Chain A
Amino acid sequence: MSNLAILPIIIPMLAGIIVAFTNKNVALTRVLTQVFAVISLLVAAFVTYTVFTDGSIILETGDWKAPYGIILVADELSILLILTTNIIAAATAFYAPHSLTLKQETHYYYTFFFLLITGVSGAFLTGDLFNLFVFFEVLLMASYALIVLGGEKIQLRESIKYVLINLFSSMLFVTAVALLYGVLGTINMAQIAQRVAEVEQRGILTTIGILLFFVFGTKAALFPLYYWLPRPYIVPNPVVSALFGALLTKVGIYSILRVFTLIFVHKIEITHEAFIWIAGLSMIFGVIGALSTNNIKLIIAYNIIPAIGFIIMGIGIFNQEALSGSIYYLVHDMIIKCALFLLVGVIAYVAGTSDLRKMHGLIHHYPVLGWLLFISAFILAGIPPFSGFIGKLALLRGALSSEEIAITIIALLSSLLILYSVMKIFIRGFWGEKDETIEYKEKASLGLVLPIVFLLGFSVFLGIGAEFVYPAVDGIAEYLLDPQIYIDSVLKE
């Protein structure tokens, strides 16, 4: 049974290899991609069900017992995120053929796509710090490949910055893992947690922890490490932007969540207190960025940063409600970011520009897109009864029960500005006089719109149907607050 844990990694990997071989036959590749994406989603759903009914699945790969071999840990947190990842993957798999050029498709888009999913799933599942590095590299390498896909001038220019910054943080990551090994003599996360607890995070350990935080923070695009993010995210095809926006930064934030609830939890007055400040600054500078531009894709890209701020805020506050808020917000944000990137992709496509100043009255031609954007804006800003609200509510309750007033006010204000930044697109781009002179492209095809509807459906469900999800998330938060459960489940002593 424990082999179930590796399925979310293996299926996309095999799929990626298979579609690499069918590359010449685009029609077949597309079908295969969609079939595999659905299979992977179903499997993920099944594994999720198993984990939530029977408890964490621990897989000791190669039968090398913990802490010596590489351990895969499918606990409720990682499997929830894997399920979300697969929902996103399925949506983009159906969107991709309508959005990509034939050239991009035959340049192994689908292979890179599946390997990206592999890397992301692996990063969520692994219980080994060095293995986490390896999965990071898988997903980063796939992302490098995706971002240059097509090889346009701007794309190349932005990708090289993206690659360089990530390369730097990867090297820092591997160094930090080594340093941790030097102190603790192990790279198994459960054992690291156990040993750090044993010496009460003495001496150099907090510093190494903070180095790891910066590594993950760079990937997660936290203040003040996010500079690399917005522009590289808007140069590739919208479907790639959607995958990046939904998954890449979230892997970073997941790693922070894992490491700073499991391992470095003995000096929270230093580390986690700093996170709250970082969260506040991420929100402020993120929304300022989102408000600063008229490029609709860039507006969405900047909106990644305050969202990350919300999530890190919960980790910083570090009580059960705030943590469950963070997790809920994380799941919510993965879905809505993907939907929004796909959506502005379609909007920019039909309008023929991503410059808001050149758009107006689109709603006369594309009412469906307009209303999808309208709803998305409210979901994103955390207006009830949608998914963002549930996470935000739990976060605010957590913050106020720890009497964190400043961050509460910042969070509330940035919600308003997030709403404004996206609603601006609706008011300026969609409202207005019908423009007969502009030649519009064909109606946004169903293939582009349905995946977005599918994702927004989930967002709405996560809001209105929160009762089906929140108790589970709350359970995860409780579980995260007691690292011993994780340690015991892996080390079995």
Chain B
Amino acid sequence: MEYIILILAGILFATAIYNILQKQLLRIIIGTVLLSHGAHLVILTMGKLKRGQPPILDDSVITYTDPLPQALILTSIVISFGITSLLLVLAYRTAKENNTDNMEEMRGEANE
């Protein structure tokens, strides 16, 4: 199962990169969202999957799933969310100011 999830993560990375390499802002941002999904899956897998119960203490349970990756993912999700929100507003403002959402049209001059 772990390897399947890792392959999924790899696919998410690949599609993310493909989108990031596009020109339109919305696609690029979608790419970053996929990227963070992929990263989170990698974290989760690194704690091994399905090895016990959810990490909530209970006297009847002997083994728990590794709680540390979960904590890390939580932190990461929140941070990614913050960045994505900023990025969206930024993208919208950039597109408005520059009258385009095409990154290739936002290269700028060499010597400004």
Which A residues have a C-beta under 8 Å from some C-beta of B? 130, 133-134, 137, 141, 144, 148, 151-154, 156-161, 163-164, 167-168, 170-172, 174-175, 177-179, 181-182, 187, 231, 293-295, 298, 355
User: B7 in the interface, Cβ–Cβ < 8 Å?
Assistant: no
Given contacts A134-B75, A168-B20, contact A175 B111 (CB under 8 A): no
Known: A134-B75, A168-B20, A175-B39. A181 touches B97 (CB 8 A): no
Which residues of B are interface residues toward A (Cβ below 8 A)? 20, 25, 28, 32, 35-36, 38-39, 42-43, 45-47, 68-69, 72, 75-76, 79-80, 82-83, 86-87, 90-91, 93-94, 97-98, 103, 106, 108, 110-112
| Contact status B46-A182, CB under 8 Å | yes
CB distance from B97 to the nearest CB of A (A): 5
9 closest pairs, A vs B, by CB?
A182-B46, A178-B43, A156-B94, A157-B106, A153-B97, A178-B46, A175-B39, A171-B39, A171-B35
Set of chain A residues within 8 Å of B45, measured between Cβ atoms: 182
Q: Which residues of B contact A172 (CB under 8 A)?
A: 39
Task: Tell me which of B20, B25, B35, B76 contacts A160 (CB under 8 A).
Answer: B25
Give Cα A157 to B42, complex, Å. 32
Residues of A within 8 A of B39 (CB): 171-172, 174-175, 178
Residues of B within 8 A of A152 (CB): 97
Q: What residues on B are CB-neighbors of A179 within 8 Å? A: 42, 46
The prevalent SS among residues of A at the interface is helix
Whole-angstrom CA separation of A144 from B111 in the bound complex:
23
Distance of A426 Cα from B3 Cα, bound (Å)? 60
How far does the alpha carbon of A353 sit from the alpha carbon of B56 in the complex, in Å?
A: 62
Which residue on A lies nearest to B87, using beta carbons? A163
Bound-state Cα–Cα, A236 to B28, Å? 24
B28 neighbours in A (Cβ, 8 Å): 164
User: Could you list 19 A-B pairs, sorted by A, with CB under 8 Å?
Assistant: A134-B75, A137-B83, A141-B83, A141-B86, A144-B90, A151-B93, A151-B97, A160-B87, A161-B103, A163-B90, A168-B20, A171-B35, A171-B36, A174-B72, A175-B42, A181-B68, A182-B45, A293-B110, A294-B111
User: In the complex, A231 Cα to B108 Cα: how many Å?
Assistant: 9
Q: Is the CB of A154 within 8 A of B112?
A: yes
The interface residues of chain B lying within 8 Å CB-to-CB of A130 are 72, 75
CB atoms of B90 and A156 under 8 A apart: yes
- Chain B residues whose CB sits within 8 angstroms of the CB of A170 once the complex forms: 83
| A153, A174, A181, A182: the one within 8 Å of B76 (CB) | A174
A295 to B111, CA, bound (A): 6
CA distance A439 to B38 in the complex (A): 57
What is the bound-complex CA distance between A422 and B43, given in angstroms?
46
**A182 to B66 Cα, complex, angstroms:** 11
Say yes or no: B32 contacts A181, CB within 8 Å: no
Residues of B within 8 A of A148 (CB): 90, 93
CA distance A389 to B45 in the complex (A): 49
Contact A158 B108 (CB under 8 A): yes
Cβ–Cβ contact A134 & B46, under 8 A: no
CB distance from B8 to the nearest CB of A (A): 14
Nearest-neighbour CB distance to chain A for B36, whole angstroms, equals 6
Quote the shortest CB–CB distance from A126 to chain B (angstroms). 14
Given A159-B90, A160-B91, decide whether A134 and B79 contact each other with a Cβ distance below 8 A.
yes
- Expressed in whole angstroms, the Cα–Cα distance for A144 and B43 within the complex equals 26
Q: Can you add 9 more A-B contacts, CB < 8 Å, to A157-B97, A160-B106, A175-B42?
A: A141-B83, A141-B86, A148-B93, A157-B98, A158-B108, A170-B83, A175-B38, A178-B69, A187-B68
- Alpha-carbon distance A295/B32, docked complex (angstroms): 33
Taken together as a complex, chains A and B put the C-alpha atoms of A130 and B71 apart, in Å, by 11
Residues of A near B111 (CB, < 8 A) are 293-295, 298, 355
Contact B83 A167 (CB under 8 A): yes
Q: How far is the CA of A133 from the CA of B73 in the complex (A)?
A: 12
- Per the bound structure, the CA–CA distance linking A154 and B94 in Å amounts to 9
CB neighbours (8 Å) of B46 from chain A are: 178-179, 181-182
Instruction: Find the A residue at minimum CB distance from B35.
Output: A171
Bound Cα distance from A163 to B28, whole angstroms: 12
Chain B nearest CB: distance from A204 CB in Å?
A: 12
Complexed CA–CA distance, A187 and B66 (Å): 14
Report the separation of the CA atoms of residues A160 and B112 in the bound assembly, to the nearest whole angstrom: 17
Cβ-neighbour of A164 out of B20, B38, B42, B79 (below 8 A): B20
Q: Is the CB of A167 within 8 A of B97?
A: no
Which residues in A have their C-beta under 8 angstroms from that of B76?
133, 174
B32–A174 CB distance below 8 A:
no
Chain A residue nearest in CB terms to B25: A160
Cα–Cα, bound, A137→B75 (Å): 11
Contact residues in B for A171 (Cβ distance below 8 Å): 32, 35-36, 38-39, 80
Complex interface: chain A residues within 8 A of B108 (CB): 154, 157-158, 231
Distance A390 CA – B17 CA, assembled complex (angstroms)? 43
Are B43 and A174 touching (Cβ within 8 A)? Answer: yes
Instruction: Enumerate chain B residues within 8 angstroms of A157, measured Cβ to Cβ.
Output: 94, 97-98, 106, 108
Counting chain B CB atoms within 10 Å of each CB, the highest count among A156, A174, A178 belongs to A178
The minimal Cβ–Cβ distance linking A303 to chain B, given in whole angstroms, is: 16
B25 to chain A, nearest CB (A): 7
User: In the docked arrangement, what's the CA distance between A397 and B83, Å?
Assistant: 44
Inside 8 A of B42's CB, which chain A residues have their CB?
Answer: 175, 178-179
Q: Shortest CB–CB separation between residue A358 and chain B, in angstroms?
A: 11
CB nearest to A178 among chain B residues: B43
- A159 / chain B contacts, CB cutoff of 8 Å: 90, 94
Known A175-B39, A178-B46: A156·B93 in contact at CB below 8 Å: yes
